[in-house]
Structure 1
Amino acid sequence: MIEWNDEQRSLQEAFARWHADLSADHIDLDRQGGFSWEKWEMIRQSGILRLPFDEEWGGMGQDLLTTMGVLETLGYGCRNGGINFSVSTHIVSAGVPIQRFGSRPLKERFLPRICDGSAIGAHAITESGSGSDAMSMQTKAVADGDHYRLNGSKTFVSNGPVAEQFVVYARTNPALGAWGVTAFVVERGTPGLTVGQPIDKMGLRNSPLCELFFDDCRVPAGNVIGKPGLGFSILDYVMKWEILCSFVINVGEMQHRMERCVDYARSRRQFNQPIGSFQSVANKIVDMKIGTETARNWLYSTARRFLANGNVTVDIAIAKLLASESNFASAVNAVQIFGGNGYMTEYGLEKDLRNATAGTIYSGTSEVQRNRIAKMLGL
């Protein structure tokens, strides 16, 4: 269990003051779909995007654990799962790789706007023929003087329709396999880059995604993050942050959902008694409690080991698997506990279930995580 110090608790409380406004109209916004610039402006004003970045670039200089604590609080207090997901994507996918691996000129150009949220960030990994198997990507980048020419396409780019800068992974030397992948910062409006239309989807409907198309897109060599061929290492680092930060938001959502079910089970009466007195209902809430605490403990313990430079390959896979599947099970149980009310959109629980489904797919499907764990066991 994490014991937060006074400064960390103060940060969590300060950001919590924004939760009511961020949650307002969340059901209507989900029904409409699309990105809410009004909510994003609140996110910008809250300062949450500054958390893990160095003060030199306008950040708050907080460590991973502190950042996760605030993001868990966001999940607990903000009912708009889409905006929560866009926050995590912006911080982790676009900001973290530049801060950790980028040159000083790259940091000077991009991090201040990432910190203040004036330029939304996204990353482009997935392709139509490569999902969890990211290393089968076909997008290529060929050196051309002091530029690279990118050709190919990406899909399921979260934040893509509203992003100003993309971290794009492309093959620069196919013969080297994973070590022939390079990460680039590509700015919106770069000639040869086409940003596709938003793709309608099942959940997280206020976090838009799209396709990107590269047709002899010329990107300055100075926009390479780290060095050519370092893309796989960068992606591995970013994915650890992505799993820890995005799924700790889900832990906050699970905690809120469980507490809501406890209140409902105490107040809702059938057959002259609270429904919580029925073992079948109580057991569902117990399962929600176990899932929430187990996911929380795995995520934070994995983060500690990651910060200590430990090998967290298996830990990350287990944490992702536990958090995503516990969140899905929690959402199913909540709909069942609320019965007919849970099935109605006005209660927001069917929206939670649609959102939770995505977590078992993105950042490596549940099946891929199980395969990874089995491989590390020598199977």
Structure 2
Amino acid sequence: MDFGWTSEQTTLYERARAYARAQLAGAVEAGDGLPRALWRRCGEFGFLGLSVPERYGGLGMDALTTARLMEALGRGCEDTGLVFSVGAHLFACVMPLLEGGSDGQKDRYLPRLCSGEWVGANAITEAEAGSDVFALKTRAAREGDGYVLDGTKSYVTNGPDADVFVVYAVTDASHGYMGLSAFLVEKGTPGLRVGRRFEKMGLTTSPIAPLYLEGCRVPASSRLGAEGQGAPLFKRSMQWERACLFGAYVGVMERVLERTVDFARQRKQFKRAIGKNQAVSHRLADMKQRLDSARLLLYRACWLMDRGQEAELEVSLAKLAISEAAVQCGLDAIQIHGGMGYVTETGIERVLRDAIPSTLFSGTSEIQRDIIANHLGL
């Protein structure tokens, strides 16, 4: 493994970070929906199509460079809700479409999704199918030249603003793992209804809502890949999400560490900077150690993905390390900032609120530990 970046990668990272800092400053608390002006700016730079070929409007980056640019986005943009929506759009909607879609589907959807004209969403989670994603109750029944979808999806990120959904439904319950299929369902399709937006403790600018499918008829051409290929498509999308999306949290942690170190140098108590106190300096040293350890696990996972090697174990190790380090980073930053860290106007407490869901989405920390244990032969 080469630990160096090419000059092109380094330049692109610095451009991405500077762009995010200058152009994506804006709402960091919930509004009526995604800030569409900022969303279009994400598309203008290429964040919405980092890993999509250039012929469809993307940047054509490999997994490692994609993760690195998501890191730049997380470091430069303080609106982690917006950053999360970008990642959910790209890795859970755009990448399944790229890797499983027909030429016609890719030509129709990818340019709009990469440019920021459209917002994409993934709809798989249900009330009784969270970690156990294959316990889906949503059904897709074949009728003539199409399918009729019925069911309810929970916690659809970008749902209130999405123009197209990747919806997973059971087409043949007797086939188990191979009985799941994926469908592209556009906003406005009869029988498709987005529920009331949920209020959340963090990632507040990333809208999330339930999705209701009631006799929702779609043509067979809306099916993503072959019938029964939904599970492999979803598994692959989770690999992209668990790896590359979490690059954003690496960037967030670096930004928070830099800010907290500066605070520890400037804040004085008992006539000296609090960073001179070992209790504070050691906490900062631990923040740095967790950050770099998590980052290296991420880079290794993406490096393996780019070589076409099996990376399930490495991706789970990276996802687990990053998410739990991000939560601890938020706790450490609040503790070091003291009362200033607890009040909302400084934005420090928001770091923790935005980090907590990272241990839940894309597979909980417990699920990642199950995957790791399975690879250990347990």
Give the TM-score band, short-chain normalised.
over 0.9
Partner of 2:92: 93
Q: Is the 8 A contact 2:67 2:246 kept in 1?
A: no
One-letter amino acid matched to 2:106: K
The TM-score normalised by the length of structure 1 is 0.96
Provide the C-alpha distance between the structure 1 equivalents of 2:69 and 2:30, rounded to a whole number of angstroms. 27
Equivalent residue number for residue 183 of structure 2: 184
Rounded Cα–Cα distance in structure 2 between residues aligned with 1:367 and 1:232: 21
Tell me: CA distance 1:344–1:22, structure 2 relative to 1, closer, same or farther (3 Å).
farther
Q: How far apart in 2 are the matches of 1:66 and 1:356? A: 23
* Corresponding residue of 2:361: 362
Which residues in structure 2 correspond to 1:1-379 (within 5 Å)?
2-22=3-23, 24-26=25-27, 29-30=28-29, 32=31, 34-379=33-378
Deviation, 1:145, is 1.4
Shift of 1:336: 0.3
Could you state the TM-score of these two structures normalised by the residue count of structure 2?
0.96
Note if contact 1:34-1:207 (Cα within 8 Å) is conserved in structure 2. yes
Per the alignment, in what secondary structure is the counterpart of residue 156 of structure 1?
A: strand
Provide the C-alpha distance between the structure 1 equivalents of 2:114 and 2:82, rounded to a whole number of angstroms.
Answer: 16
Letter in 2 for 1:141: A
For residue 19 of structure 1, report the CA deviation from its aligned partner.
Answer: 2.2
Structure 1 position 90, deviation (Å): 1.2
Query: What secondary structure does 1:30 align onto?
Result: coil
Shift of 1:123: 0.3
Q: CA RMSD in A?
A: 1.4
Quickly say closer, same or farther: Cα 1:157–1:254, change in 2 above 3 A: same
Find the aligned partners of 1:100 and 1:266 in 2 and give their Cα distance.
48
CA distance 1:59–1:149, change in 2 (3 Å): same
CA distance in 2, matches of 1:24, 1:58: 24
- In the alignment, the residues of structure 2 paired with residue 10 and residue 347 of structure 1 have an alpha-carbon distance, to the nearest angstrom, of 31
Shift in alpha-carbon separation, 1:23–1:273, aligned structure 2, 3 A: farther
Q: Give 1:32 deviation, angstroms.
A: 4.7
The answer to whether the Cα contact below 8 Å between 2:33 and 2:160 also exists between their aligned partners in 1 is: no
- Structure 1 residues 255 and 368 mapped into 2: Cα distance closer, same or farther (>3 Å)? same
2:132 and 2:52 map into 1 onto residues whose CA distance is 30
Deviation string 1:27-78 (CA, Å, 9 cap, x unpaired) is xx41657421222132222232232111221222221211111110111111
Taking the aligned partners of 1:278 and 1:135, their CA distance within structure 2 comes to: 51
Cα–Cα, structure 1 residues 284 and 39, in superposed 2: closer, same or farther, change >3 Å? same
Q: Structure 1 unaligned runs (5+)? A: none
Single out whichever of 99-108 and 55-64 deviates more from structure 2.
55-64
Judge conservation of contact 1:34–1:205 (CA < 8 Å) in 2.
no
Query: What is the number of equivalent residue pairs in this alignment?
Result: 377
Determine the C-alpha separation between the residues in 1 that align with 2:20 and 2:69.
12
Q: 1:249 Cα deviation (Å)?
A: 0.3
The DSSP-based 3-state class of the residue aligned with 1:18 is helix
Distance in 1 separating the partners of 2:30 and 2:218:
38
In the alignment, the residues of structure 2 paired with residue 246 and residue 315 of structure 1 have an alpha-carbon distance, to the nearest angstrom, of: 15
Q: What secondary structure, in the 3-state scheme, does the structure 1 residue paired with 2:134 have?
A: helix
Any stretches of 5+ residues in structure 2 without a counterpart? none
Q: Secondary structure at the match of 1:211?
A: strand
Q: Deviations over 1:170-192 (max 9, x none)?
A: 11111111111011111111111
Distance 2:239 2:277 in 1: 41
Please say if residues 75 and 252 of structure 1, whose CA atoms lie closer than 8 Å, have aligned partners that are also in contact: yes
Aligned residue type for 2:262: D
